[in-house]
Homo-oligomer: A and B are copies of this chain.
Amino acid sequence: MQMREDIFKIITSLPEKDLQHQLLEQSTMLNYDKNDVIVREGQYVKTLPIVLEGSIRVFQTKEDREILLYYVEPGQTCMMSLSAGFFNQASAIKAVAASTCTILSVPTRCIAPWQRRFDSWNSFVLKTFRKRYGELLTVFESVAFDHIDKRILDYLRHRAKKTNTRQIQISHQMLADELGTTRVVISRILKQFETDGTLILGRGTIELK
């Protein structure tokens, strides 16, 4: 497999020579276009995707509604696939490419042996479990206890912080999909915020004040 800079970064975070060797040996590299479905609900996962470039959106879905759980960013992996690697089980979530992205695809049969054998891999696995659990708890809290106006604002602020700009590029429809509601509701609340002076609306953009 060709050695890219992003792979190099992952590799160096796993210092054991033997692990590095096996990782390069066993995995393949895959490319996805934006909106490609990577994992469907109910699907049995056979590989662990480690994101190299771009990011993956992970959703909980039910009929035609869906709610964003978290993003998988470069250097990270998906909780469900990890869980599926240890225990053969169907995915409870849906994963979609948030942008054009490249992933390192590790066969799930490798996960358990490596986890027992290599300290850095063990640590990677545990960190993933913890991170995803924490994120799920956070989303749960906001869905369970907060009204939509607060959830919208939290989402926008979080995103502004992540991309380090107050200009957020997102349509009302997209926002509705991420938060598990409908476009009309989002438009209504956003308009209220604009009247308040909390933000400024544009076509496809929202600017936080």
Contacts and interface: CB of A to CB of B under 8 A. Distances in A.
Give the copy number.
Answer: 2
Contacts of A116: 119, 122
A115 B126 CA distance: 11
A174 interface: no
A3 interface: no
Contacts of A130: 83, 86-87
Contacts of A122: 115-116
Contacts of A93: 137
A60 B133 contact: no
Interface in A108-141: 115-116, 119, 122, 126-127, 129-130, 132-134, 136-137, 139-141
Interface residues of A, number: 31
Interface of A: 60, 62-63, 65, 67, 79, 83, 86-87, 92-93, 115-116, 119, 122, 126-127, 129-130, 132-134, 136-137, 139-141, 143-145, 180
17 contacts: A62-B144, A62-B145, A63-B145, A65-B145, A67-B144, A83-B134, A86-B126, A86-B130, A92-B134, A116-B119, A133-B133, A136-B137, A139-B140, A140-B140, A140-B143, A143-B144, A145-B180
Given A83-B129, A87-B130, A133-B133, 14 more contacts: A60-B137, A62-B141, A62-B144, A67-B144, A83-B133, A83-B134, A86-B126, A92-B134, A93-B137, A116-B122, A129-B133, A136-B136, A139-B140, A143-B143
